[in-house]
Amino acid sequence: MSTAPSPRIPRRYRLLLAIARRFRPGLDEMQIERQIAAVGDIVSCLYALPLAVAGLIWLVVETDAALLRDHAWELLLFTVLFFVFNYQRFFLIVELRANRYGSSDGSLAGIILWSGVLLYGPTLFWLAVLGTLFEFISNWFSTASLTARWSQARNLALNLAGNTTVALTASTLYQRFGGTFPLGAMSLSTVALAFGLLLANFILLIALWSVYLVYATWSQRVLAGSDQVYSVLYFFFLSIGLPHLAHPFAILAAGLYTESGIPVYLFFISGMLIVAFLTRQLSWSSENSRQQSRMLQNLEQLGRAIIDAPPNTENLPEILAEHLPHMFPAGRHVVWIFPEEELAKYPPDWQPDLEGIWPWLLDKTQGETFQAHEPLPWDGRVEQHNPMVISPIMDGETGQTFGGVYLELYALAQPWDRSALQNLCPAIQSLGAQIASATNQARVYTQSLEYQRMREELKLAWQIQDSLLPITFPDMSGWQFSVTIVPAGETSGDFFDVIPLEDGRVGFVLADVLDKGIGPALFMTLSRTLLRTYALDFEFQPDIVLFATNERILKDSRANLFVTVFYGILDPGAGTLTYANAGHNPPILLRSDDEAEITLLERTGLPLGIEEETAWERATVQLDPGDVLVLYTDGIPEAQNGAGEFFRRQALEAVIKDNIGESAEGLQGAILDALYDFLGEVPPQDDITLMVIKRDRNPANIALPRT
């Protein structure tokens, strides 16, 4: 992820930084953006503080003690009205640059203040001073951040200077030009002088804030570019100008009070109070709408970015870093996978207590909100903290929480009460769902790649298996031979072999390894190699071949698998078949002279790979001209159709009887056709291997097909 180049800092800023260091250590460890903002707050506080102190002294001098004594009830009324209006505050939030907001609030309390000043003189400026102090004290104890407290100190100094020095200067100018306290009879000149008072106050207030404005404009240009300066100017004049738009109505209120008394004045003020209430509600609705619209827009953009990204999580941190800082109101956030794998964090140098949070969040299924004064359940200490919203990231399939989204909000003009925090929950939960979807998509993609890799490996394994099966067969005059193998999967646990021996004899092997997959396929390869090796060592002793193979399997393999094997040695000239059956399905021998008689070449011992020192009996059977011997694995009798029925050996015997006159290849085809007709649309669930050996009635050289 690329980082923005550090801005070039002029020498004048370094001087301001040196001054600010004396009042706030740790500035050098801050990110440059936060450092510039902190320096601005400190410097603004320092230049406004002397003006505020001088203004307070001036106001004390100008205070009329007799007025406080003689008009106590009227002043109490103005005080109550001032704080009622001050409670109905509206606010303004403007995004100055990415994740950097300017916030300001105001009220129509200026109507009460200036109407009182026009009626009773500068003593009423104490209302504004008391309101400023009350607001500062309330915010100070509800804020834990040192940065936020310096911002509050800056506002306190500037507001006190504005409510005293600036206001008293404007009042002095007003009186110099003929204005009087209380306001005289309503006339054009009276109204003009009073309007001049308000205008002078507004101009001087802008001059007071201009130093901070110049600094804010410079910092915006340094951090965001010159094209972003307009947003600072727009916010500045809007935040100062909006409350002053209502101040001229104070002239009308004072005139009504002078000419018609308190009842008419209160009637007019009640109308203004309704306007104040509606203005507050409008600011709430407007900001909520802005936040929801912004969050939905950014969620949509984030969703598109996730969809367009490669199907893995490698690019997810970069995508989140691009979109999350613009999604929510000013604050700090971290998105992480338990226990501490951070996908996104802002600011980068922030160190949240993830180790303490995630065990608590693990059992949550929806977002939780915490106001600044509420204790945190994962932290036994009761400490001041910023308002926050925490939401789990849950797996869409299992519902298990595996990560979290933690949003900590800075203090803005909008109060972060329960309702405001709850409004953020749906968007944060949607964010968690998108991240869960992205991680699930990556997991599915990885599984797909793994599955594809396994399929390729299985395909290669079957190719190796297939290459081990014989493709040429001994020439046995007077005999027919046909064999086929149909794997149920990518590999097979079945195998067969045809082994040429001395004196024209031929060894026939049909075997089935327990289970399916790579393991049984490898076990099959081992078993096939050992059987062929020992078949050549003990050419006419199938029982010894099985014994030697079993001993070697148990010594060389710890796979806990076993294999059923039928191994027979055919003497084509004599027609004798000497065999040993290691737990395999009994081959079916059908005599041509008695088609009703079925002879089963029963098992003569256990499967290979179960017990050491196991012996197998050897048996011999005579195959006369026309006789048919069918060898098969359990994939045929145990084949199951959609109704849950098994094909069974009896059905196999019936097919053999019905097709006794067919060639070996024809009989094999008839058996497979009957089997697939029985299965219908259900694919075979086990490997199928079928071998047919038939002695001709009239011996001739016949090719031995393999399918």
Which of 239, 260, 281 represents a domain boundary (last residue)?
260
pLDDT band at 524 (very low <50, low <70, confident <90, very high): confident
**Of the candidate ranges 285-299, 566-580, 622-636, the one whose mean pLDDT is the lowest:** 285-299
Q: Whose CA is closest to 402, among 425, 379, 433, 444? A: 433
Cα–Cα distances (Å) from 689 to 114, 461, 603, 637, in that order, read 103, 18, 18, 11
**Of the candidate ranges 89-103, 176-190, 638-652, the one whose mean pLDDT is the lowest:** 89-103
Mean pLDDT score across all residues of the chain? 84
517 occurs within a structural domain: yes
Residue 395 belongs to domain with CATH number: 3.30.450.40
Cis omega (within 30 of 0) for bond into 487? no
Coil, helix or strand at residue 680: coil
**133 and 224 share a domain?**
yes
Average pLDDT of the residues in 216-226: 75
CA distance linking residue 338 with residue 355, whole number of Å: 9
**481 and 388 share a domain?**
no
What is the span of the domain harbouring residue 185?
11-260
DSSP 3: -
Query: What's the pLDDT at 46?
Result: 92
516 occurs within a structural domain: yes
* Main-chain dihedrals φ then ψ at residue 700, nearest 5 degrees: -160, 160
204 occurs within a structural domain: yes
Query: What's the pLDDT at 247?
Result: 92
Query: What's the pLDDT at 571?
Result: 92
CA distance linking residue 691 with residue 485, whole number of Å: 9
Which residues does residue 110 pair with via DSSP β-bridges, in sequence order? none
Cα–Cα distances (Å) from 580 to 541, 616, 629, 631, in that order, read 9, 7, 15, 13
**580 and 492 share a domain?**
yes
Query: Per the structure, how many domains does the chain have?
Result: 3
Amino acid at 186: M
Structure tokens at 606: 């256990």
**632 and 535 share a domain?**
yes
* Residue % of the chain over a pLDDT of 70: 86
pLDDT in tens, 41-55: 899 999 999 999 999
Sign of the alpha-carbon torsion through 574, 575, 576, 581: positive
Cα–Cα distances (Å) from 126 to 27, 66, 161, 195, in that order, read 36, 15, 12, 21
284 occurs within a structural domain: no
**520 and 620 share a domain?**
yes
615 occurs within a structural domain: yes
463 occurs within a structural domain: no
Q: Whose CA is closest to 582, among 654, 504, 530? A: 530
pLDDT in tens, 438-453: 777 767 666 676 767 7
Indicate if the pLDDT at residue 557 is higher than 80. no
Query: What's the pLDDT at 701?
Result: 43
Query: What's the pLDDT at 144?
Result: 66
Query: What's the pLDDT at 114?
Result: 96
**546 and 631 share a domain?**
yes
pLDDT in tens, 463-508: 666 666 777 777 788 899 999 988 877 667 788 899 999 888 999 9
4 occurs within a structural domain: no
Helix (H) or strand (E) segment spanning residue 498: strand 494-500
Indicate if the pLDDT at residue 99 is higher than 60. no
CA distance linking residue 125 with residue 82, whole number of Å: 11
Average pLDDT of the residues in 138-165: 85
Give the distance from CA 526 to its chain's centroid.
47
pLDDT in tens, 278-313: 888 887 777 667 666 777 777 677 777 777 777 666
CA distance linking residue 186 with residue 11, whole number of Å: 55
Average pLDDT of the residues in 583-606: 88
**15 and 126 share a domain?**
yes
Q: Whose CA is closest to 406, among 443, 376, 441? A: 376
DSSP 698: S
Indicate if the pLDDT at residue 180 is higher than 80. yes
Query: What's the pLDDT at 361?
Result: 87
**527 and 383 share a domain?**
no
Residue 568 belongs to domain with CATH number: 3.60.40.10
Average pLDDT of the residues in 83-109: 75
Which residues does residue 579 pair with via DSSP β-bridges, in sequence order? 568, 619
Query: What's the pLDDT at 96?
Result: 61
491 occurs within a structural domain: yes
Give the residue, 37 or 569, on which the prediction is more confident.
Answer: 569
Contact at 8 Å (CB) between 513 and 634? no
Contact at 8 Å (CB) between 276 and 85? yes
Cα–Cα distances (Å) from 22 to 265, 641, 678, 687, in that order, read 51, 88, 93, 84
CA distance linking residue 596 with residue 315, whole number of Å: 73
Q: Give me the helices (H) in 225-261, please.
A: 229-245, 249-260
